Amino acid sequence: MKSKPYVTKNDLKKGLRKVGLREGDIVFVHSSLSSFGYVENGADTVIDALLETVGSSGTVVMPAFTWTLYHDKVGVVFDVANTPVKNEVGLIPEVFRKRKGVMRSIHICHSVTAMGPHAKDVMGDGVRSFGEGSTFHQLYKLDSWYLLLGVDFSVCSALHMVEEFMQVPYRYYRDFRHSKVILPDGRIIPCKSVEFLRKKGYYNDFVKMGAIFDQAGILRTTFIGNAKIINVKIRDIFDVTKRYMEKDIGFLLTLESRRRLKQEMNI
Ligand SMILES: CC(C)(COP(=O)(O)OP(=O)(O)OC[C@H]1O[C@@H](n2cnc3c(N)ncnc32)[C@H](O)[C@@H]1OP(=O)(O)O)[C@@H](O)C(=O)NCCC(=O)NCCS
């Protein structure tokens, strides 16, 4: 049996620099720890490598999503400091969330964690997940990198940002009026988040965007251990995807769902 590659912090830093990450950069990270092989000291090493690569002038941002927990519930309480995220977004974001100095935003389903001088700027206003005023909107404004560590575009939340800005007809807003948020200082506030939910029977296909982005020449890729690493500017994700969606508003759906949308919209 072939043994797993052994990955050190230096291997990680070398790979991150290879895909263009530099001191002072802002980077949003989706990850899979097991994809590398065996990482010396686990999730902490990946986090240290990211923080050291962007340095003290850079900012690392990770998902701390709780969509599965809350999106279909009424009257829930989101405890910002204590709600875990491993089951939804993985061990690396879970370990990062608990690091001293890491901030977490207050969106009930799509909170993020961040460390660095721009952490406060990317917290968003806690209302929309991906649209105006959200973390993702801020990341666009700040020209952030978007980094995939051993995962493909199926988990690329930035594509939801394009859906929300384009106000796709296969989603609708629901609010969390009867829910509450416990802030890290213990104060309890009403939840002001809204979710741009997919209508029943519609399914996304994000995986295809990998080949489209590759063809557009916007991806920087390498391997660290067994993990494919992809780094891309969030603005490039947005701009390229928007061009496709301007021609076909259902472009981010599966073929079946696109057919359904065309029928329903009579186009
Ligand atoms: C779901 C997902 C996190 C699963 O990835 P994974 O590598 O299996 O799991 P994690 O990243 O949580 O890492 C934990 C696993 O790493 C492995 N592991 C543990 N220590 C390790 C080490 N030192 N080195 C390498 N792997 C190790 C274990 O298999 C562990 O699994 P276990 O917790 O069941 O024991 C990943 O596929 C994914 O989708 N990531 C992106 C999530 C996201 O951002 N989603 C946003 C919107 S959809």
**8-state DSSP, 126:** S
Please state, in angstroms and rounded to a whole number, the distance separating the CA atoms of residues 42 and 161. Answer: 31
What is the identity of the amino acid at 266?
Answer: N
Q: What is the pLDDT along the chain (267 residues), one digit of tens a residue?
A: 679 999 999 999 999 999 999 999 999 999 999 999 999 999 999 999 999 999 999 999 999 999 999 999 999 999 999 999 999 999 999 999 999 999 999 999 999 999 999 999 999 999 999 999 999 999 999 999 999 999 999 999 999 999 999 999 999 999 999 999 999 999 999 999 999 999 999 999 999 999 999 999 999 999 999 999 999 999 999 999 999 999 999 999 999 999 999 999 886
CA 210 to chain centre: 15
CB contact set of 95 (below 8 Å; sequence gap of 6+): 42, 43, 44, 47
- pTM exceeds 0.95 for this model: yes
Distances (CA, A) of 60 to 26, 37, 249: 6, 23, 32
CA dihedral 211→216→220→226, nearest 10 degrees, is 10
Q: State whether the beta carbon of 33 lies less than 6 angstroms from ligand 1.
A: yes
Name the residue at shortest CA distance from atom 28 of ligand 1. Answer: 34
* Alpha-carbon distance values, 114 to 81, 99, 165, 251, 254 (Å): 13, 10, 23, 31, 32
Alpha helices, DSSP H, located in the chain? 9-18, 43-54, 67-70, 86-89, 91-97, 135-141, 158-165, 209-215, 234-247, 255-265
- Ligand 1 in reach of 91 Cβ (< 6 A): yes
In this structure, how many other beta carbons lie within 10 angstroms of the beta carbon of residue 78?
22
Q: How far apart are CA 257 and CA 267, in angstroms?
A: 14
Distance CA 26, CA 21 (A): 9
Which residue of 34, 40, 65, 136 sits with most ligand 1 atoms within 8 Å of its CB, as the best mutation to test the pocket? Answer: 34
What is the CA angle 118-112-67, rounded to 5?
Answer: 160
Domain-wise residue ranges, the chain: 6-265
Neighbours of 184 (CB within 10 A): 12
Which residue is listed with tokens 């207050």? 106
CA of 90 relative to ligand 1 center, distance in Å: 5
Residue 157 alpha carbon, nearest atom of ligand 1: 47
- Sign of the torsion formed by the C-alpha atoms of 201, 209, 42 and 63: negative
Residues 180-224 pLDDT 10s:
999 999 999 999 999 999 999 999 999 999 999 999 999 999 999
- Between the CA of 242 and the centroid of ligand 1 the distance, in Å, is 30
Q: If you compute the radius of gyration of the chain from its CA atoms, what whole number of angstroms results?
A: 18
Ligand 1 midpoint to CA 252 (Å): 26
Backbone conformation region of residue 124, classed left if phi is above 0, alpha if psi is from -120 to 50, else beta: left
pLDDT in the model for residue 1: 64
